[in-house]
Structure 1
């Protein structure tokens, strides 16, 4: 069965789903996106993704083309049309097609381009990597300065993923001014005793939806949370490390730049936070 893709109000077979070559998402990376996980046919952390989408659009002076209720209906419809049980829904909103290329934003009457597609990932919550953990390397953070806006400008994160792949590891952590910012597509954490440490929110990192939920659940579970910068050396000397993202949920990190973290196996805190996150978000899924 051909995958069904949503393009500007139409549900189309993926081979028929097209946007203009003059779309500013294609020409200027002038757009934002969200990735929402699906477990058991339901949307995980959906409201948080709506809030961040609205913020990203506002930061780029783009109108939100739909209300949260309308987004929910569209998301549910594309999940149903593709019979997704476990997987992800990818949403992209660009400034649209002004009819030609220009650095200046087009007039407000240019309609945004809205695209959604699904990716089926059976057993998404049961990744074998959660039992073995990830290995990461550190690389310089050479992205633009507004990482808090979830734009489609993903070239350097893609380069980081490839650096990690060539190094035979799972991911890369960005480092700026001596401190870890985040992973290529995730937020980064270390653990010392009962304390979970992660960089504070700013323009320097993505305001992760999974991050927000995990930190809330951590506090409810009586873990101490400290939001501050940390170095690679501090991470290597930590008891544990982990990352969070919409698709990996909570993933232990067991090696950084060749040095084992703790015992070199997934730690109790990361393992417990993964369990709590999956349990709680499944209960609240839409």
Structure 2
């Protein structure tokens, strides 16, 4: 039976209870993170939890314990559940209180929950992704990793119904990111990606990629891409916590390059792979 984190306690799945008055349920009033686990070790946990606390601060929510304690609790959860390859999900809501739009008064404590998910052993490598462009109708604070994901869900469903892996979001023809990923195009050996702003979430995997680019001497232009220019890219790839770097073979039915991972993408994939943690030894 899996173990879960509820606030400061580790409980079994049949002991998990969430109030119907939880503001996450009513309003999506909360923030979350997903941390990838490789070989039993969390990858970039400090960066993910740092962003969790930054998001909480941006919505004026004070979490009941600090970042180091949070990381330690999640590491224990991963170990107790025996996760080797998978991820840990953690979220914090503003707490349970009578339904009013303004923040509840004093005495209401945020609710923290977390669980793990294991991936199948020897899972085949993901096929290059197909993308479907979709209007970016999200709110204007996409830099906050909040629970308000309905627009993301709608875009992902639109892509799914078109037989695609992911939605390529754009605001008035300017590409921002994916419904659950960051986007990168490659033209004449130069990587193009949207700059960090309130229009995108600065993904942790995105940050690792930017570090890899710096170490490799790989040119990058952080500037808005026009949707019409994306179709002419030599290579394209997306990034996320669960996928790492995933090459893109076509966008809106138009093949990108020859439909296979290009040299810049492959070089970055190798550099990213080299940064993954060593597996935790088991007795």
Do Structure 1 and Structure 2 share a fold, with TM-score over 0.5? yes
Determine the C-alpha separation between the residues in 1 that align with 2:107 and 2:76.
27
Deviation string 1:210-268 (CA, Å, 9 cap, x unpaired) is: 11111111111110011001122211111100011111111101100000011111112
What residue number does 2:232 align with?
A: 237
Mean Cα deviation higher: 226-235 or 84-93: 226-235
What residue number does 1:116 align with?
A: 114
Q: Secondary structure at the match of 2:68?
A: helix
Contact 2:143 2:198 in 1 (8 A): yes
The alpha carbon displacement at 1:123 in A equals 4.8
CA RMSD of aligned residues (A): 1.6
Determine the C-alpha separation between the residues in 1 that align with 2:168 and 2:107.
40
Determine the C-alpha separation between the residues in 2 that align with 1:37 and 1:95.
25
Aligned length: 280
Q: Secondary structure at the match of 2:275?
A: helix
Q: Secondary structure at the match of 1:61?
A: coil
The alpha carbon displacement at 1:207 in A equals 1.3
Within-5 A mapping of 1:1-286: 2-98=1-97, 100-123=98-121, 127-129=124-126, 132-282=127-277
Report the TM-score, using the length of structure 2 for normalisation.
0.95
Determine the C-alpha separation between the residues in 1 that align with 2:124 and 2:156.
19
- Structure 2: stretches of 5+ with no match in the other structure: none
Deviation string 1:70-125 (CA, Å, 9 cap, x unpaired) is: 01210111001110000000000010012x1110101243110000001111358x
Determine the C-alpha separation between the residues in 2 that align with 1:108 and 1:35.
29
Report the TM-score, using the length of structure 1 for normalisation.
0.94
- Structure 1: stretches of 5+ with no match in the other structure: none
